[in-house]
Structure 1
Amino acid sequence: MEEHFLIPVDDSEPAIDALDHAVKNYPDASITALHVVDPSEFSSAASIEGAATYADMIESYEGKAEELLEEMSERAAERGVSIETDYVVGKVARSIVDYVDEHDIDHVVIGSHGRSGATRVLLGSVAESVTRRAQVPVTVIR
């Protein structure tokens, strides 16, 4: 039976490294790249920008998620591997663990840290939280 790998992705180098690791080491597996759109990001931005509605922010972030996932799909295709992509809206670590449970994922490959800057400390905790809570093996890529 073919294994199903989940690769949570954002626009960070560790996420790209995680995708590259999975594509290189598990080319015959079913691979899904998942991006989580975190509502705390766009609710803060909406209140700062004022003019944008919550719905507009969701639409904008979903568009960015689709672009990112297309880039990841193209990156895998350049290496001769076809992957599935998906995005969900929610808290990052919880959404990843829920996705694992709901989609028969066998293994997670995740970057050690996400985006840079102020959110880096928080996103570093995503890999830790997924590792602790997921009911499947998790490989953390540094």
Structure 2
Amino acid sequence: MPKHVIVPIDGSEQAGRALDYALEEYPDAAITLLHVFSGGPPEIHLEKRGSDYDDLRARRREMLDRLADERAHGGPIETEVVTGRPSREIVRYADEHDIDHVVMGSHGRDGASRVLLGSVAETVVRRTPVPVTVVR
């Protein structure tokens, strides 16, 4: 049974289902909700959104904290916000933090849309050193 599980959270319904699955299947494990703040360096976020980078990160952290507070769980629920390319950062986090399992949502894209857009879940499955459960 995994002792430490990460659940990447992007605010989607699929990520919410992945969190529910992780909480149900691993009731005693430590769970880390991981949000990857993507899109490049802070300067790009400032240009795109006209907002302060630290404020944007704080809002992502609040979203994760709210999710953690709303759900009951036997083990601890931690939150983490990192910046980078989602698939790369999820794999790196699993590698560097003694993670036993990744549970993540998938948008279920296939065919041309998956080729054009890439699939974070598919990349994580192929590259992470631990088991991955993909929830649709």
Both proteins in one fold, TM over 0.5: yes
The TM-score with structure 2 as length reference comes to 0.82
| Counterpart check, 1:103 vs 2:97 | yes
In structure 1, how many angstroms separate the alpha carbons of the residues matched to 2:74 and 2:98?
24
Unaligned segments of structure 2, at least 5 residues: 109-113
| Counterpart check, 1:71 vs 2:66 | yes
* Gap change, CA 1:141 and 1:2, over 3 Å in 2: closer
| 1:14-53 C-alpha deviation (Å, 9 max, x unpaired) | 000000000011111111111111134975553355xx37
Correspondent of 1:130 among 124, 128, 131? 124
The TM-score with structure 1 as length reference comes to 0.79
* Gap change, CA 1:48 and 1:89, over 3 Å in 2: closer
- Contact 1:7–1:33, Cα closer than 8 Å, also in 2: yes
Q: Which runs of 4+ in 1 moved over 6 A?
A: none
Residue identity over aligned pairs, in percent, reads 48
Unaligned segments of structure 1, at least 5 residues: 115-119
Range 39-48 or range 82-91, more displaced: 39-48
Partner in structure 2 of residue 140 of structure 1: 134
Task: Give the secondary-structure state (helix, strand or coil) at the position aligned to 1:10.
Answer: coil
AA of the residue aligned to 2:100: D
Aligned counterparts, 1:2-41, within 5 A: 3-40=3-40
Aligned counterparts, 1:72-87, within 5 A: 72-77=67-72, 82-87=76-81
Task: Give the secondary-structure state (helix, strand or coil) at the position aligned to 1:39.
Answer: coil
In structure 1, how many angstroms separate the alpha carbons of the residues matched to 2:48 and 2:19?
33
